[in-house]
């Protein structure tokens, strides 16, 4: 998880995810991400693992508006539950999410990461 935490911090600081939250969810849940040196950053996460990682990274909760959610409609006090609910409502298995994941995979490739194909 250390490599994943480092990736999330890098993405958060560089603001590369603005407009790509659905793609971020899709890629981190369903695709393998490797670094330049071949080390595995993520082999795919469960919704709960992703929610926990976003909580630990202190991800901006206002970003849920990008996927059509209202921040105040999500659990306010428990950030892991907040992110889990957001992931659930985002429909990360839809065709739209897969297309968003492809776009976000390109963002990661420009930063030197390899991103695997979406699940069949």
Looking at residue 1, its pLDDT comes to 56
Q: Which domain holds residue 23?
A: 2-115
Burial 2-36 (b: 16+ CB within 10 A, else e): eebeebbeebeeeebbeebbbbbbbbbbbbebbee
The per-residue pLDDT for 67 is: 92
pLDDT band at 14 (very low <50, low <70, confident <90, very high): confident
Any domain includes 64? yes
In a domain, 70, yes or no: yes
pTM: 0.91
Instruction: Please count the structural domains in the chain.
Output: 1
pLDDT bucket at 48, cuts 50 / 70 / 90: very high
Tell me the C-alpha distance between 89 and 65, whole Å: 12
Position 120 in a domain: no
The answer to whether residue 7 sits within a structural domain is yes
The confidence band for 18, taking pLDDT boundaries of 50, 70 and 90, is confident
Instruction: Find where tokens 């006090």 sit.
Output: 77
First to last CA, the chain: 25
């Amino acid at each position: 998880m250390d490599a994943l935490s480092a990736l999330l911090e890098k993405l958060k600081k560089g603001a590369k995810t603005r407009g790509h939250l659905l793609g971020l969810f899709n890629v981190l849940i369903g695709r393998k991400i490797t670094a330049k040196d071949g080390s595995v950053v993520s082999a795919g996460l469960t919704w709960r693992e992703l929610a926990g990682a976003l909580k630990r990274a202190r991800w901006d909760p206002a970003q849920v508006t990008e996927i059509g959610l209202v921040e105040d409609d999500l659990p306010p006090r428990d950030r892991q539950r907040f992110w889990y609910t957001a992931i659930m409502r985002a429909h990360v298995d839809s065709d739209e999410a897969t297309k968003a994941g492809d776009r976000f995979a390109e963002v990661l490739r420009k930063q030197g990461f390899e991103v695997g194909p979406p699940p069949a």
